[in-house]
Amino acid sequence: MLSTLRIERRADADPHVRESVKYRRPISIATMHRIRATLRHALNMAMRQDRLIDFNPAAVLEMAAHTRPKALVWTDDRVRAWQQDYRSYREREKQRRGGRRVDLIDAYTSVPRPSPVMVWTPAHTRRFLKEAKAHRLFALYQLIALRGLRRGEACGLRWKEVDLDGHTLTVNWQLVQLAWEVHEGAPKTDASVRTIALDTDTTQVLRAHRQRQLQERLTMGEDWTDTGFVFTQPDGNRLHPQHVSDQFLWLAYLAGLPPIRLHDLRHGAASLMLAAGVEMKVVQETLGHTSSAFTADTYTSVYPQVATAAAEKTAALLFGKEDQAEPGKLISLRS
């Protein structure tokens, strides 16, 4: 009931009503299933060990089936269809507001997408990184785009866990946002605690980021707060994860790209690795997944290039020909 109310308020025409539920995400079906599983386990333990109850009500609780949304790539056709819907939505909003200004990012994120999980093409990701290069959090976005860190893992990364000479970093902590409050804690699962290899370019980007941070520290003087985090506010305090997401959406809009969630940039990193021919086990360990089966089920069909390359390599066994699909042509969002 509470989730339904939040969904209704999120779509309300009154901006003050929408603001009242901002950053308060509805409880998803997947989360409900996890909550039920936890309760069922706890009640089973109470039955077996403490004999406090003789019936487990969580075992017979009926819930809607959970189907994990399929990740889709922003192909040219999907981008064109979304652009048309986006322009129509802005025009309707402008008329509804009596000609008053329409919030660009609100419109940008409100238009329905082919799937809740959308992935940029390699060409899209290159364009985003080019747009983000001058931003003070550019290194964070490149880490997510190439190495697939979760938002909380990137925000919780500390310099003591980064070895620039050895081209590695270790994920030991994360920052978690609950409503608006931020909490520090362990990564999502045991598999999420991992050491990740860094490419030369990302290592150089992190070195440049450290120099910029040292300059900010000198500028702030005694007002600097030494938290030890790699990515901080200009005064050294930890980042708020929502600020990272908000800046990401703004940069994506400025780059003229179709919208994705910041977490989808992580999905894109997985797809890029698979398209580059990286072994499934390596992709799984880089992302911090518990099993390679989950990685395979989620990502192997995202990029058309992956399926095309597999088909060409199979045919090459018979005909001796190989081909590699090129990324689709980029279509600008701006009209």
Q: Which pLDDT value is given to residue 325?
A: 46
Q: Is 226 or 310 the better-scoring residue by pLDDT?
A: 226
Number of domains in the chain: 2
Calculate the CA 293 to chain-centre distance.
20
Cα 332 to Cα 256: distance, rounded to the nearest angstrom: 5
Residue 136 CB neighbour total at 10 angstroms: 16
Residue whose token pair is 């269809």: 81
60 — pLDDT class (breaks 50, 70, 90): confident
Q: Tell me the Ramachandran region of residue 168: left when phi exceeds 0, alpha when psi lies from -120 to 50, beta otherwise.
A: beta
Residue 22, pLDDT score? 59
Tens-place pLDDT, residues 141-189: 999 999 999 999 999 999 999 999 999 999 999 999 887 889 998 898 8
The pTM for the full model equals: 0.79
- Note the pLDDT of residue 1: 43
More confident residue, 128 or 10: 128
Q: In the structure, what pLDDT confidence band is assigned to residue 2 with cuts at 50, 70 and 90?
A: very low
Query: Cα dihedral angle (153, 158, 159, 162), rounded to 10 degrees?
Result: -40
Burial class (CB in 10 A: 0-12, 13-18, 19+), 129: middle
Question: Is residue 93 situated within a structural domain?
Answer: no
> The dihedral of CA 299, 300, 301, 303: what is its sign?
positive
As a whole number of angstroms, the distance between CA 111 and CA 136 comes to: 29
Same domain, 31 and 125: no
Q: Which of 45, 60, 75 is the last residue of a domain?
A: 60
By DSSP bridging, strand 162-163 and strand 168-171 are antiparallel
Q: CATH no. for residue 179?
A: 1.10.443.10
Tokens of 163: 């070895």
Q: Are residues 51 and 128 in the same domain?
A: no
- Which residue range(s) make up the domain with 39? 2-60
Could you tell me if 134 and 56 lie in one domain?
no
What percent of the chain shows pLDDT beyond 90? 53
Is 277 within a domain? yes
For residue 286, being part of any structural domain is answered with yes
Identify whether residues 46 and 191 lie together within a single domain. Answer: no
Token digits for 324? 């590699």
Residue 31 has pLDDT above 90, yes or no: no
Between residues 73 and 52, which one has the greater pLDDT? 73
Q: Helix 292-299 crosses helix 262-275 at what angle (to 10 degrees)?
A: 100
pLDDT on residue 157: 97
- Of residues 243 and 26, which shows the higher confidence score? 243
Q: Does 89 map to a domain?
A: no
> How much is the pLDDT for 65?
75
Q: Does residue 22 sit in the same domain as residue 164? A: no
Per-residue model confidence as pLDDT tens digits over 14-23: 666 666 655 5
